Amino acid sequence: MEDRIAAQILMLLSAGIILALGVIHLAFTFRGSKLTPRDPALQIAMSRTSPVITKETTMWHCWVGFNASHSMGAILFGLVYGFLAVAHAQLLFHSMFLLVVGLAMLGGFLALGKVYWFSIPFRGIAVALACYLAGIAVALT
């Protein structure tokens, strides 16, 4: 029984970290200047330039949309895996599909964080991944 609760807490902690990162990122996408270029001329250029795929949008709109949808993906992961850990732990910990999908998602976030992002989200994702793996290890013992 204690192992089950520990596994749930570890999984919930993992999901909560990703949820928090997603919520903070979404807030930064629409509030303040944290996700705007340091060079104001770049934002102006992005606002005037369309991607090759279409002239129906601008690179700035794409930037905002990609940041928002990225945040929504992290929020969805956090909500779904947090819910599963609390309300349907047996389903989560006995489903190889759900465990592998979650691992792939966190692993993908970690790789992106290392290559494209900066240290704070990378470290947060690394801790979330460690909690996720620990939760699985505890659940399987």
φ/ψ (deg, to 5) at 78: -60, -45
Residue given tokens 């999901």 in the structure block: 15
Query: Residue 12: its pLDDT value, please?
Result: 98
pLDDT of residue 1: 73
Q: Tell me the per-residue pLDDT of 26-67, one tens digit each, with 9 for 90 and over.
A: 999 999 999 999 999 999 999 999 999 999 999 999 999 999
Instruction: Answer yes or no: is pLDDT of 5 > 90.
Output: yes
pTM summary value: 0.95
Q: pLDDT band for position 76 (50/70/90)?
A: very high
Q: Where are the domains of the chain?
A: 2-140
pLDDT score recorded for residue 55? 97
Q: Does 93 have pLDDT greater than 90?
A: yes
Beta strands in the chain (DSSP E): none
